A = this chain, B = another copy of it.
Amino acid sequence: MPRSTVVRPEEIRRHNLSQVLHQIHVHGAMSRAELTASLGLNRSTIGDLVADLVRRGMVDEHVPAAGVDRAGGDKAGRPSHMVAPRRDGPYVLAVEVEVERMVSAAVGLGGRIHVRRETPLASPSSPSGALTQIARDARWLAARMPVDARLVGVGVSVPGTVRRTDGMVVHAPNLGWRNVPFGARLRRRLGDSVSVRIGNNANLGALAEHQRGAARQLRDVVYVTGGVGVGGGVIVDGAEVLGAGGYAGEIGHIMLDPNGPPCHCGSNGCVETSLGEHAMLRAAGHTGPPGSAAVAAVLASAAEGCEPAAAAVAAQGVVLARLLGILVNVFNPEAIIVGDTMEQILRIERTAVEAEIGRRSKAESRAALLLLTPGLGRDSALIGASELAFQHVVAGIATGD
């Protein structure tokens, strides 16, 4: 039998409570009047649900001073109560593991980053080293949060294939990790009382850009991130595309050229053999160690039209566009968001990229396409990790967990 979607009356209150929390989390402070309008519930029900969230220490209510009422008051002209996430309310630990650095942050309801910390990582970094750093960051951040603030979840972004169900990092080639039970090990480090969830950086970037970045108003979005590796995250009709095991979006290993060079994955002509920092540095004649400084130098040089950097960046633009053309044909998205080093390629080569996408995709599939850069800058995956952790909190209220 397929899953039933019948709703029983006793589930409605919890569902509505979770919806109110979801609204506050997505939009930040809202008036009761706005909540009433956006959820289609009556004022007394909203008042009751908000009071429940206040009791749970998640939100605060206050009456705004005259003249600052955002959305009208009641019939007597009294301003509507404002409902806002509490500063000393629940927060999550969000972590982004990258090739060269780790970023950790304490993120509150509403997606507000309270405190953040950035640490260089040895490259390649060991799973143990990353776990130790996360535990250290958790203490460091907690010490800077209000005494009453309670850690309710942990979300970690990893640049590799991750099994969502248990946080197994199956393969993170640019970290050199394979079959690392990162979720389980982090749970042991931090204590079993806190929920720990691990996700792929591109999937989490897509989640964050859809929730509170460049794709806030959109339903069908592809997020492409390319630095050392190339990854993709997809939102279809407002929901994440994860696939059977959680590995959807492995666009770095799409075969773009049957005569292309061998790839570390065992195939040849994969996207990653010609797209990404290593390919760009090679084409630009860079012979030293790779890294963000070398990449920045090539991009700066290309922006001024200097060869061979300009040709290397132009070549990246063509390959990027071919990949985007495939994604346009497959998903017919409203927007593609291009992040990390690929964002810089797009800025320099935008005209050529758009022309090549035009050549490589069906006219109707790209007719309404927006080609965007991330609204959250470099923090897409970090914010996505916090969203992953908060999903559990918001859903937990609905199910009573």
List chain B residues, Cβ under 8 A from A258: 256-257, 322
Interface residue? A296 (CB, 8 A): no
1/0 contact trace for A244-273 toward B, CB 8 Å? 111111110111111100000111000000
A255, B4: Cβ atoms under 8 Å? Answer: no
Most chain B beta-carbon neighbours within 10 Å: one of A5, A15, A38, A236? A236
List chain B residues, Cβ under 8 A from A265: 362
Which of B170, B239, B267, B333 is in CB contact (< 8 Å) with A244? B333
- Interface-located stretch among A106-114, A324-332, A342-350: A324-332
Main DSSP-derived SS at the A contact region: loop
1/0 contact trace for A129-153 toward B, CB 8 Å? 0000000000000000000000000
A332, B243: Cβ atoms under 8 Å? Answer: yes
Interface residue? A304 (CB, 8 A): no
Q: How far is the CA of A117 from the CA of B7 in the complex (A)?
A: 41
| Smallest CB separation, A199 vs chain B (Å) | 14
1/0 contact trace for A267-288 toward B, CB 8 Å? 1000000000000000000000
Number of copies: 2
Interface residue? A401 (CB, 8 A): no
In A6-24, the 8 Å CB interface with B consists of 6-9, 12, 15-16, 19
A39, B6: Cβ atoms under 8 Å? Answer: yes
Known: A15-B6, A244-B220, A359-B267. A251 touches B330 (CB 8 A): yes
Interface residue? A352 (CB, 8 A): no
Interface residue? A307 (CB, 8 A): no
B26, A330: Cβ atoms under 8 Å? Answer: no
B250, A329: Cβ atoms under 8 Å? Answer: yes
Interface residue? A125 (CB, 8 A): no
Residues of A that sit less than 8 Å from B by CB: 1-9, 12, 15-16, 19, 26-27, 37-41, 161, 163, 170-171, 219-220, 232, 236-239, 241-251, 253-259, 265-267, 322, 325-326, 329-334, 359-365, 367-369
7 contacts between A and B (CB under 8 A): A1-B37, A7-B7, A236-B239, A245-B367, A247-B364, A257-B259, A330-B330
